């Protein structure tokens, strides 16, 4: 009986440990819609960037222009889309599509050269920090997105 109880306890503890690790899977943690308000342009116009990471390994980055913090988004936006994978603290992104939406109408750009990009990331609660690298010597400023 003691062996049975020990085995049952070990089985439950193992299942709980596996379940708790599954929730920390970086591929799952990044899934969802994240929003970032970029600093204002000299014109006073703002960009709101939205990053959408899907369970199937696809993503879309959207650029909405608007009049300022709290102002409504424009009805049109610029987008990039592609596929991604995660290894350690790096998102390996393959950008394969680009275009604009005007309302619900998608207008892809026909002459688009795909490219790959490595983006360092971290997640802390509902905050996603992305640091894009342009070549080996240049690192962009961190962009902190909030989960929607």
CB 100 within 8 A of CB 90: no
The structural domains of the chain, with segments of one domain joined by +, span: 1-30, 31-147
- The pLDDT tens digits along the chain (148 residues) read 333 333 333 333 333 333 334 456 766 999 999 999 887 777 777 788 999 999 999 999 998 877 766 677 777 788 999 999 999 999 999 999 888 887 777 888 767 789 999 999 999 999 999 998 877 766 788 999 999 9
Rounded to an integer, what distance in angstroms lies between the CA atom of residue 69 and that of residue 143?
16
Going along 1-148, which residue ranges are E strands?
A: 32-37, 46-53, 58-66, 76-87, 90-102, 105-108, 115-124, 127-134, 138-139, 143-147
Q: For domain 31-147, is the CATH number 2.40.128? A: yes
pTM: predicted TM-score of the whole model, two decimal places: 0.73
Measured over all CA atoms, what is the biggest interatomic distance in the chain, rounded to whole angstroms? 76
């Amino acid at each position: 009986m003691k062996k049975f109880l020990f085995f049952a306890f070990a089985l439950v503890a193992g299942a709980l440990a596996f379940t708790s690790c599954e929730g920390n899977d970086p591929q799952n943690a990044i899934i969802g819609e994240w929003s970032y308000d970029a600093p204002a342009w000299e014109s006073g116009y703002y960009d709101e960037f939205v990053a959408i990471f899907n369970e199937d390994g696809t993503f879309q980055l959207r650029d909405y222009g608007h009049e300022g913090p709290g102002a409504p988004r424009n009805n049109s936006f610029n987008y990039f889309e592609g596929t991604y994978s995660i290894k350690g603290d790096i998102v390996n992104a393959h950008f394969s599509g680009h275009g604009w939406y005007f309302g619900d109408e998608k207008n892809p750009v026909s002459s688009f050269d795909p490219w790959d990009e490595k983006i360092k990331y971290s997640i802390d609660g509902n905050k996603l920090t992305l640091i894009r690298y342009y070549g080996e010597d240049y690192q962009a400023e961190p962009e902190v997105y909030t989960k929607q």
